[in-house]
Chain A
Amino acid sequence: MSHQLSARKVGKTDWPLPGSQALASRFDRRAEAFFLMAVAGMLVLACILALESELALAGTLAAAGGLWWWGVRAGVVAQAGAFSDRRPWAARLVVAAAATVLLIAFHGEHYALLMISTVLLFAAACAGINIQTGLAGLANFAGAAFFACGGYTLAVLAKSTALPHFLAILAGGVAAAAIGAVLLLPVLRTRGYYSALVTIAFGILCSSFLQVNEQLGGAQGLQVPPLTILGWDMGSGFEVAGREVSFYFAYGVLALAVFLLSSLVAHAIEWSAIGVNLDATRSDELVGSSFGINPQRWKITAFLLGNFLIGIAGAVYAGLTNFVSPAGATFEQSLLLISIVILGGIGNSWGALIAAVLVILLPEKLHSLQEYRVLIFSVFVVAVLLFRPKGLVPRRMRDFSVMEKRS
């Protein structure tokens, strides 16, 4: 997050032009740009999921990459981002529609639906990390551990209590937030790398602890019973118009809802006085505190909120996969989440979604590279940090003039 502004950014159409006429005339193109990207994304994702041959996959990726490059140069990506900034609900509605079409297209395919749900849930967790790292500047290297905390909470509650599963999922979020608070409170008054140290240590310890602890299933983990959410039995498939629909379909819908809500929360936080406070805490704590912005208060708020979102995503993931294990809480898994955040663009939830597709889906499909995936990704992330630290979809500058137009 360097302070160097590249000269070509200023004056380019990353920000709306002043003057209402210019804004009104561009409105249609913004919505269209977003719609175009949503549809294109859906098609690319469908291809990735449906294609089996690695050659075809490579071709799809190349085509997608080319489309992306064109989209950036033609300003389509920027326009789409502007649309999402101005009309967050509408944008998410479009994405929901596109995703639902995708889910329906794959209604009978267990594996495809499982993958879509996984991508959505990891992206939701990354939306939480974006609040912590992107806005508040707190490094969280225990993302997977908190994700697993949510999952284990759900597992224990679903097995041992009669708590409605919907509430158990929320409890997963609360548990992750509570553990995060205990972890962070001691180091709130210290510099940024202390939170890095504490979360790294916690991440490593959490997985060792879970490995050893017999009550929580040890290395085997815990089974999660089939969930019932708001009366819907998530564990069994159903029939619609004579066609078999996989039980993962319901999880797909749930995962979609979790992602859209998480990204909406991240958006709401960013586009508010709290967002300004978090930015101030991140970039210049001293100045912020001179003007009354209490860094400790905002760091803990961001961390708790982010962890809450991570925990909920983790709980739903536990339901999705029917079990939790220490393997999901490792430091390597946390680095995976961090990679998604960096690749997608720190602070941008849409970027996290796109990066999650790349980081999670591709290795599953490109079998020949499976063994090397961690190596490939770490090298890739190093390259991104060196040459394009803002990621695929850089966080857009917040522009409150949008509010003026609408109120």
Chain B
Amino acid sequence: MEISFAFQHLVNFLMLGLIYSIVAVGFSLYFGVVDVVQFAHGDVVALGGYAGLAGILLAVAAGATGVGPVVGMIVLALLATGAAGALIGRYLVMPLRQASPINVLLITLMTGTAIREALRLFVPGGSNPSPFPMVLPDQLMTFAGVSMRVSSLIIMAAGVLAIFGTHFLLSRTRLGLAVRGVAQDEETARFMGIDFKRVVILTFVLGACLGALAGIMSGLYYRQVMFNMGLMLGVIGFCAAVVGGLGSLMGAVVGGFLFSGLQIFATVALPIPSAYKDVFAFTMMICIIAVRPTGLLRERFEERV
């Protein structure tokens, strides 16, 4: 195949892989720390996308140019998702921790639905895709016969930074230590003086902020946001996290790139209509789960008898 096509697919693979990975990291975080599947995460991503859009519009309306809208986009997205994450964690997930895990899954699923519907109903023209302005430098770069936009490079760099930043936060900082302590053994962590509630809320905020980033990335890359963009992203992210090993950051990244790789593979190499690429990707992922039920890397799982 022509090199420019191949390169396009490569960029696609990397970009989607990053977006999926970031969403998956959120799922792994929630599961690793609080032992719950937070299924509103995908819709929080969508919320982030819309909040970013709102940030841009507000900044532009206030007369800001250049870096201004970018800042507005990031700030509003982080604020909106951070608040959503904290509220969901504090009022919906924490109270139900003692109940069966299905209940938490259900309540977050329904919350996600509520967020989705709210976006559809209360955003002007919400049932249709809303165009997302390109606020990053967007020149086309060409070298050695392939071309790529600067914006794509910036988006990917931001994604990579976010993942490394999260890794750094978890492994090198005191907060990260507290989070990992709680993930390992809640009871002991409490004995050691770690404020469990604060750590949990912070985890939810962190996960949600990662979601914001994924939402903005998706908005910038596809030049639009849609009220139900979070549904598919959420399912893909959850699937990627499970395949990689729920609770493992590396696993989430592996899972995310695995899914995007399968999608691209199906589009490029298989003689099936591209509409079936998701069917193919999911089927492969489910086969992987069947063979390695605890995930490719590691799942935090013990049961004391």
Contacts and interface: CB of A to CB of B under 8 A. Distances in A.
- Asked if A and B are interacting partners, one says yes
Interface of A: 1-4, 133, 137, 139, 141, 185-187, 189-194, 196-198, 200-201, 204-205, 208-209, 211-212, 286, 331-332, 335, 338-339, 342, 371-372, 374-375, 378-379, 381-382, 385-386, 389
B137 interface: no
B232 A379 contact: no
Given A189-B293, A212-B275, 17 more contacts: A2-B98, A141-B109, A186-B286, A191-B301, A192-B102, A194-B293, A201-B286, A212-B273, A332-B113, A375-B118, A375-B121, A378-B111, A378-B114, A378-B117, A382-B110, A385-B106, A386-B92
A386 B97 CA distance: 11
B102 A385 contact: no
B107 A382 contact: yes
Contacts of B301: 191
Contacts of A342: 106
20 contacts: A2-B100, A190-B293, A193-B242, A196-B37, A197-B239, A201-B235, A201-B282, A204-B235, A209-B279, A335-B109, A335-B113, A374-B113, A379-B110, A379-B114, A382-B92, A382-B114, A385-B106, A385-B110, A386-B92, A389-B103
Contacts of B114: 375, 378-379, 382
A194 B242 contact: yes
A193 B127 CA distance: 31
A286 B302 CA distance: 12
B96 to A, nearest CB: 7
Q: How large is the interface on B (under 10, 10 to 19, 20 to 34, 35 or more residues)?
A: 35 or more
Nearest to A335: B113
B204 interface: no
B100 A186 contact: no
B276 A209 contact: yes
A374 B117 contact: yes
Q: Residue among B96, B231, B293 with the most chain A CB within 10 A? A: B293
Contacts of A189: 293
Contacts of B279: 205, 208-209
Contact of A187 (B99, B101, B231, B293): B293
Contacts of A379: 110, 114
Nearest to B288: A186
Contacts of A190: 289, 293
A25 B239 CA distance: 56
A43 to B, nearest CB: 31
Q: Residue among B96, B117, B278, B301 with the most chain A CB within 10 A? A: B117
A217 B24 CA distance: 35
Contacts of B98: 2-4
For the complex of A and B, list the 4 residue pairs with the smallest distance between their C-beta atoms, beginning with the closest: A186-B290, A375-B117, A378-B114, A378-B113
Given A286-B305, A375-B121, A192 B101 contact: yes
A4 B100 CA distance: 11
Interface in B83-125: 92, 95-96, 98-103, 105-107, 109-111, 113-114, 117-118, 121
Contact of A186 (B37, B109, B289): B289
Q: Residue among B113, B289, B303 with the most chain A CB within 10 A? A: B113
B287 interface: yes
Contact of A194 (B275, B276, B289): B289
Contacts of B293: 187, 189-190, 194
Given A193-B37, A382-B114, A137 B290 contact: no
B235 A200 contact: yes
Secondary structure class of chain A's binding surface, majority of residues? helix
A197 B242 contact: yes
Interface string B215-238: 000000000000000011001001
B303 A1 contact: no
A286 B276 CA distance: 39
A190 B293 CA distance: 6
Given A186-B287, A193-B105, A382 B232 contact: no
Interface string B284-304: 011101100100000001010
A230 to B, nearest CB: 38
A2 B95 contact: no
B84 to A, nearest CB: 14
A59 to B, nearest CB: 27
Interface in B105-155: 105-107, 109-111, 113-114, 117-118, 121
Nearest to B291: A186
A378 B114 CA distance: 6
Contacts of B273: 212
Nearest to A346: B102
A22 to B, nearest CB: 34
Contacts of B235: 197, 200-201, 204
Interface string B231-260: 110010011001000000000000000000
A205 B121 contact: no
B263 to A, nearest CB: 13
A137 B102 contact: yes
